[in-house]
Amino acid sequence: MNKADVGIKNVLFSREQLTQRISEMGREITELYASSPNKLLIITLLKGGVVFTSDLIRHIDLECRVEFIKASSYAGTESTGTVNIYLPRELDSLEGYDVLISEDIADTGLTLSELEKKLLERKPESLRTAVLLNKPSRRRSPFNPDMVGFEIPDLFVVGFGLDYCEKYRNLPYIAEMSEEYINKE
């Protein structure tokens, strides 16, 4: 075990599993938007969604634009229930764009629900969501992603962009955090 693995209980998805599924998702997105006359805009949430989105866009065989936004709703391991979303001026109008939100995890659904609302106000031609992980057991809003990499139970996971107190994002796999380690921090 190296220093980055401290507090890891078990690996849920290896780098190889992640690569395979993200490649499949990229092909699905390419097929979905291939015949659309609109421009494709992929919006990802900082910081967690960056790793997934970086891999995903390399598997999309279409011209696309990528934008990054900041959203926050977590304190430690729990959602505060209050969502703060910061949209750049470049996203004031989304007319002529098929928008795909790319995110690492759909947990409570509060952030993604709020983001969808804000983006729909900007009148995109279409709006869909692709998430690497879906945790429906924690949903606190009626949000359901359009495309899912993997469904997971109610575990606290890290790696591949997902963090615990800004650590573990660099792990090349997704793992469950040890509750003992979380409670010790």
Q: Which residues are the active-site residues?
A: 107
Tokens of 85: 């979303």
What gap in Å lies between CA 104 and CA 2, rounded to an integer?
24
What gap in Å lies between CA 159 and CA 163, rounded to an integer?
6
Buried b / exposed e across 68-88, counting CB within 10 Å, b at 16+?
ebebebeeeeebeeebebebe
What gap in Å lies between CA 38 and CA 26, rounded to an integer?
18
For residue 147, report the phi and psi dihedrals to the nearest 5 degrees.
-135, 135
Alpha-carbon distance values, 28 to 10, 18, 54, 124, 149 (Å): 29, 15, 16, 20, 11
Strand order in the sheet with 8-13: 8-13, 174-177, 157-158
What lies within 8 Å, CB to CB, of 22 at 6+ separation is: 52, 55, 56, 59, 132, 149
